Structure 1
């Protein structure tokens, strides 16, 4: 399928850029992705939200969070109201990594959107959002059928 094959090219380029950050700071791709996710989505700072939104496996997220915690890059804080609710926060030590990651993300966006007008960029985002929303809807319907 055309879209499936082409999206792998985009992912490969992103991982090339982010891989340089991972190598520099001795991170796995998943650890890097979690740091950037927490920075870009501070309101979604639980392991469950990372799993749900990023479509990652619980075991990979759990292992990566433990490694990030051991490296002093994140901290888990238990809610006083609900002992089962544990939020994850970036620590100061993660700032340089996040800054390098943001630079990689900016370079990625600049290069993959090169030559596009603002109108084309907005149209691309709109179409991509529709594709993602359709896929989300199909996933939900599939889960409901399995119940």
Structure 2
């Protein structure tokens, strides 16, 4: 695959994902970044700091801070501390966020089904193996 085709695929996939988010954003009157933060925390419980959200979702730190503050104020997120490290703040979704998360998880499942429509399972298994190998290669490059 040419690199431009690879980049175009990810660009288009992200745009399609964002388009599928729109009904949820309107229903709950929530911005895309806030929704992305909630879904990230829900889908990645071990990555629960603002720093990790910024790093893994590639959202600027100040933007994460603004949206986290709004989500806390709205009652969708709560802050917690780490024993032995008062500087580290853990974020977690509250019960109030559950309807958004439920709708988000259903949308993500629908997105995944549409994205992989008509792709045989054997190819999905190969894709998974390739992705895991590329992830291992990437980690190796980062450690060199």
Q: Which category of TM-score, normalised to the shorter sequence, fits these structures?
A: 0.7 to 0.9
Structure 1 residue aligned with 2:123: 120
Structure 2 residue aligned with 1:44: 47
Matching residue within 90, 94, 107 for 1:91: 94
Bigger shift: residues 79-88 or 24-33? 79-88
Residue 106 (str. 1) matches residue 109 (str. 2): yes
Q: Assess, with a 3 A threshold, how the Cα gap between structure 1 residues 92 and 115 changes in structure 2: closer, same or farther.
A: same
Structure 1 residue aligned with 2:67: 64
Structure 2, unaligned runs of 5 or more: none
- Tell me the number of residue pairs that the alignment of Structure 1 and Structure 2 aligns: 141
Matching residue within 82, 85, 93 for 1:82: 85
Structure 1, unaligned runs of 5 or more: none
> TM-score, normalized by length of structure 2?
0.87
Q: Assess, with a 3 A threshold, how the Cα gap between structure 1 residues 136 and 58 changes in structure 2: closer, same or farther.
A: farther
Residue 30 (str. 1) matches residue 24 (str. 2): no
1:55-77 CA distance string (max 9 Å, x none)? 22111111110111111100111
Please give the alpha-carbon distance, in whole angstroms, between the structure 2 residues aligned to 1:7 and 1:21. Answer: 22
